[in-house]
Amino acid sequence: MTDPGLTTTDSDANEQSDLAVLVRARQRLRELVVQLEVAPFAQQTAESMRAYLDEDATRASSAFARWRRLPEQSRTSQVGQALRGHL
């Protein structure tokens, strides 16, 4: 059953669900944290941060806002599905 506040499928096959967007954003942010710890002033680190902001940040922020509006039980269920790989 799909919660109306969080998309799990899209009509455009190129679009990701909100949950997939959030999982991807979390992974990219973890990668950025590692880069910041290992090489905080490297050109690649700056490029990675810019790429995240250009490519993922806006969509992730919007998806997160929709996710936060869901009842807590629905959010918990969504996180459990994501952790089990059922996007």
Q: What is the mean pLDDT of residues 50-59?
A: 96
Closest CA to 5 of 54, 75, 59, 56: 75
Residues 6+ apart with CB under 8 A from 4: none
Closest CA to 69 of 1, 25, 3: 3
Q: Is 18 helix (H, G, I), strand (E, B) or coil?
A: helix
Residue spans of the domains in the chain: they are 18-83
* Residue that the structure tokens 């997160």 belong to: 64
CA angle, 56 then 11 then 66, to 5°: 50
pLDDT digits (tens, 9 = 90+) for 15-51: 578 888 998 999 999 999 999 999 999 999 999 999 9
pLDDT digits (tens, 9 = 90+) for 60-72: 999 999 989 999 9
